[in-house]
Structure 1
Amino acid sequence: MTEEEAQAWLRAEFDVSRETWQRLELFISLLREEMQHQNLISKASADNLWARHIVDSAQLLRLAPTTKNNGIWLDLGTGAGFPGMVIAILSRYQVHMVESRKRRCIFLNHVIDQTGIGDHAFVIADRLENIESFSADVISARAFAPLDRLIALSHRFSTENTVWLLPKGKNAVRELKGLSPKRQKMFHVEHSLTDPDAGILVGKG
């Protein structure tokens, strides 16, 4: 997917308003600026931000439950803002972004302030183990931990209706096979729009 194709897909899929598009562009601008001070994404992907990071994050919304403004989305290890910040810009989910690294938390809070999404985007600056449990409608994690450890750490935030959206790249099937048979049945694999060889683990419960 080229940068032009990525932008065209976003406009078509989400009917993006002018204000929302400006927020996405501002996020990218702030990210490029901050990359001069800390390593947020790989240099190899910096020239393909729209496809490799924005659309790669936004595609998760197609797999999430439809919500107006009160769904709780828990994003683990948000890092530079993927997918949590993109979800918060494109939707009305109440997005809680867990990130333990101080400098990245400062950056994420700056983006929230500059884009004006502070009414539904929140940074939890701590390790997941230290966070008090709450129920999430969606749990996502792009590069947080191996699947078995991820579930062990975060299952206390899930209910029988929670949807798990876990991009796992080329390792999706292998990681899924590493779970117990009971947990394997929770998930299926969706192909990523941005990489035909990559998979997204989609689960419920």
Structure 2
Amino acid sequence: MTLTNESAARTWFKALPEWNDEVLDRLEDLAALLTAENDVQNLVSDASLAELWVRHYADSAQLLNFVPRETCRSWLDLGTGAGFPGLVIAALRPECQVHMVESRGRRIEWLQRAADSLHLSNAHICGTKVEALETRKFDAISARAFAPLPKLLDLSARFSTDKTIWLLPKGRSARQELKELQGWNHLFHVEQSITDTEAGVIVGTLNGRKGRKA
């Protein structure tokens, strides 16, 4: 299945177990906030605003298909940028504490304003570089267009246990990046994105570097 238009994306959302009127209101409000802020700073491309429910909302929410609701209480989103997938995940999973890492000042301010406006008490904005973030473990880790896979793991493996679910939308490079990955014990595979027939999402678990001492 590939979502090809806004109507199809909205219909897909309505079938999610997390869907309710409160989520709808928050995503509609987020759309208004994002559109207004995009006139001030370039959060997303103007073209993608016309396909917001496909390009940003569904592209974010599809990650939930791989994360059981009952076992995920903490989520780390690296390089959140305009708030995707972090804000969407926080809206859909209010019981999950979503920590969004972003180092750019204006983006940090935007994310905090958006989280406050949407009354997302489970959304936590970490205004720092990943390297400076205090080490703790998370149930899920996501990163959308943040860094090449080897660098991403070098920076963020310390936040993972062998049960942490990694969710890495990688576009058209997903299979190639995974094929070229060396030096890690992992159970990663590529899932087809529902928003782009040529895009993939790297999904799985990580169990440290190869050759490490037990």
TM-score normalised according to structure 2 size: 0.91
SS at match of 1:67: helix
- The yes-or-no answer on 1:47 pairing with 2:50 is yes
How far does the alpha carbon of each residue in 1:147-172 deviate from its partner, in whole angstroms, 9 at most, with x for none? 00000000000001100000000100
* Residue pair 2:99, 2:124 contacting (<8 A) in 1 also: yes
SS at match of 1:14: coil
- The yes-or-no answer on 1:109 pairing with 2:109 is no
Offset of residue 13 of structure 1: 1.9
How far does the alpha carbon of each residue in 1:109-155 deviate from its partner, in whole angstroms, 9 at most, with x for none? 1111111112x110000000001100010000001100000000000
Task: Tell me how far apart the structure 2 counterparts of residues 176 and 162 of structure 1 sit (CA, whole Å).
Answer: 18
Given the superposition, is the C-alpha separation of residues 181 and 134 from structure 1 closer, same or farther in structure 2, using an over 3 Å criterion?
closer
Offset of residue 66 of structure 1: 2.0
Residue of structure 1 equivalent to 2:202? 201
Residue of structure 2 equivalent to 1:177? 179
Residue of structure 1 equivalent to 2:211? none
Task: Tell me how far apart the structure 1 counterparts of residues 102 and 70 of structure 2 sit (CA, whole Å).
Answer: 24
* Residue pair 1:148, 1:178 contacting (<8 A) in 2 also: no
Task: Tell me how far apart the structure 1 counterparts of residues 165 and 68 of structure 2 sit (CA, whole Å).
Answer: 8
Offset of residue 20 of structure 1: 1.3
Offset of residue 15 of structure 1: 5.3
Count of residues in Structure 1 that have an aligned counterpart in Structure 2: 202
Offset of residue 59 of structure 1: 0.4
SS at match of 1:81: coil
Task: Tell me how far apart the structure 2 counterparts of residues 14 and 138 of structure 1 sit (CA, whole Å).
Answer: 19
Residue of structure 2 equivalent to 1:147? 149
Q: Match for 2:92: what amino acid? A: L
Runs of 4+ in 1 over 6 A off after TM superposition: none
How far does the alpha carbon of each residue in 1:68-95 deviate from its partner, in whole angstroms, 9 at most, with x for none? 7x61100000000000000000012100
Task: Tell me how far apart the structure 2 counterparts of residues 160 and 28 of structure 1 sit (CA, whole Å).
Answer: 36
* Percent of aligned pairs sharing the same letter: 49
Q: What's the RMSD between the two structures over aligned residues?
A: 1.3
* Residue pair 1:191, 1:198 contacting (<8 A) in 2 also: yes
How far does the alpha carbon of each residue in 1:158-204 deviate from its partner, in whole angstroms, 9 at most, with x for none? 00110000000010011111211644x42000000111110000011
Residues 64-83 of structure 1: pairs in structure 2 closer than 5 A: 64-67=67-70, 71-83=73-85
Structure 1: give runs of 5+ residues left out of the alignment.
none
